[in-house]
Structure 1
């Protein structure tokens, strides 16, 4: 194995580990959901987006589409299993509206994958063309997955609280994007992995900045609010 091959393999393994961390990062959120028996203000969109992303990257990594992509298949297969477990827990403890959304989106994702797979395998007969078609779709859904935590961004800005922004998912998304972007630039440049994960890393960074800003702002505001409350309590006691 040449030096660059070895480096690419090592980076790919590191990418698998970080991707595993990304897929495991929602665990604290789902422990909270399980304990409270409620999904509160959490959204199912990040997990639905992850399912779609994993499905298409598994298809992309198949020998019939893009040979020598075992590491891409293994981590996304593991991620798919975890995301389906998360959605099962979410489905059990959420509202009827969210349950309908989950079922509808999952059905649509399966139909879309089936359609793309049939079109790709029957209409394109070289690995290059198949990789291009599926790779472009993977880029789109990869970016959607990385951007999905932003679905709660308006609530974060409105409430000035980052409580419901999944910080561990944002951090893992940032690290995952950076690592796989590096992987795509080693030895044989993979445009589709590079674009999807490059944009994903940037989106993860933006989410971390938003989380840090509102978390620090809330911490700075906390002591002042407590002190103001104590002063008001003293005044009330004096008036009594």
Structure 2
């Protein structure tokens, strides 16, 4: 195939992937509408949203031109995802108790410090985009797995209580 044709196909498939990803980020919106209406987080946990926030931050860093050139689709999708996750966390923070607020604030602080360390190490140790994108890409895959595993914390509550009635399931 001609180079331009491959480029068009890549952009179309990437655009479809972006749209699907944004729908996945938006999937818990009904959960957060319910939290807002009830003015309570009930038994909901912030774990999946905290994990997704870190995952988005890592992918945004990966998509920057000095880490991995020509990654505009990665950059845009995860920027939208990060904005959505931050809205979820703000709603959670607003309607949870003091212990929940402390947990969210502490984890966000840890995630920001972690990102600063990743950025500083990546930019000072690795001097080519190939090396940077490999290292950051591996981190993205690892933390992507954590993001998809994090809803299993809810399963821990089900096993511990031996009941699904004490848990509200979060779509992710």
Task: With the length of structure 1 as denominator, give the TM-score of the two structures.
Answer: 0.67
For residues 114 and 164 of structure 2, the distance between their equivalents in structure 1, rounded to whole angstroms, comes to 37
Structure with more helix by fraction: 1
Structure 2 unaligned regions, length at least 5: none
What's the counterpart of residue 31 of structure 2? 29
What's the counterpart of residue 18 of structure 2? 16
Q: Is the 8 A contact 1:156 1:164 kept in 2?
A: no
For residues 109 and 127 of structure 1, the distance between their equivalents in structure 2, rounded to whole angstroms, comes to 23
Q: List 4+ stretches of structure 1 deviating above 2 A.
A: 1-8, 154-158, 160-163
Aligned-residue RMSD, C-alpha: 1.6
Offset of residue 162 of structure 1:
9.3
Q: Is the 8 A contact 1:50 1:83 kept in 2?
A: yes
Instruction: Tell whether 2:31 aligns with 1:38.
Output: no
Task: With the length of structure 2 as denominator, give the TM-score of the two structures.
Answer: 0.92
Say how many residue pairs are matched.
Answer: 168
Alignment equivalent of 1:119, drawn from 118, 121, 124 = 121
For residues 4 and 166 of structure 2, the distance between their equivalents in structure 1, rounded to whole angstroms, comes to 46
- What SS does the corresponding residue of 2:22 show, helix, strand or coil? helix
Q: Is the 8 A contact 1:61 1:70 kept in 2?
A: yes
Offset of residue 102 of structure 1:
0.5
Instruction: Tell whether 2:141 aligns with 1:159.
Output: no
What's the counterpart of residue 103 of structure 1? 105
Q: Is the 8 A contact 2:61 2:67 kept in 1?
A: yes
Deviations 1:30-86 (A, max 9, x none): 011011111011100111111100101000011100001000000101111111111
Which aligned pairs between 1:156-195 and structure 2 lie closer than 5 A? 156-157=158-159, 158-161=162-165, 164-167=168-171, 169=172
Offset of residue 3 of structure 1:
3.6
Larger radius of gyration: 1
For residues 162 and 57 of structure 1, the distance between their equivalents in structure 2, rounded to whole angstroms, comes to 34
- What SS does the corresponding residue of 1:159 show, helix, strand or coil? coil
What's the counterpart of residue 5 of structure 1? 7
Question: Structure 1 residues 39 and 63, CA, compared in 2 at 3 Å: closer, same or farther?
Answer: same
For residues 40 and 128 of structure 2, the distance between their equivalents in structure 1, rounded to whole angstroms, comes to 49
Question: Structure 1 residues 5 and 21, CA, compared in 2 at 3 Å: closer, same or farther?
Answer: same
Deviations 1:117-155 (A, max 9, x none): 011111111111101111111111111111111110123
